[in-house]
Structure 1
Amino acid sequence: MSESTCDSISNSMMMTCFCSEMTRCFTSRTPLNCGRRFYRCSKPKIANCGFWRWEDSSSENSSIEVNLLKSNWKLQS
């Protein structure tokens, strides 16, 4: 998944992840979700807690979707 950091972070969307760190905001660059913002643990991938959430509420099952995508990606690797 290609991503880049958000230009600005809304104070109302500041949140902490499962390891009590402030999350970082990213913007998806994938064809399916291009321009859609999401938050994840600020630690490097190798050490993060796995927290991930869309900024908008258009997908109530986003964590399920992410886990499915991760599973599919691991199967293809």
Structure 2
Amino acid sequence: MFWALPTSFLGGLGAAAGIALINSAANLAGFVSPTVIGWLKGQTGTLSSGLYLVAGSLTVSAFLVWAFIPARMVNR
């Protein structure tokens, strides 16, 4: 869903930059998250804490999209 958002209200170079920003953030998260989840497992002794972190991150990002992207811009 996140890749469709920049192209829905940006055009041309702006849409390409938005998609590149999303890809960069996803690549960084893919690199860092195994380390963070492993560190949390070491601190707490369970994988649940890492999964709660992932679920919380998804919830926060969904809230940010809901709060800052007007529906009229996406539902054209």
Q: TM-score, normalized by length of structure 2? A: 0.32
Higher strand share: 1
The higher radius of gyration belongs to 2
Bigger relative contact order, structure 1 or 2 (CA pairs below 8 A, ≥6 apart):
2
Q: TM-score, normalized by length of structure 1? A: 0.32
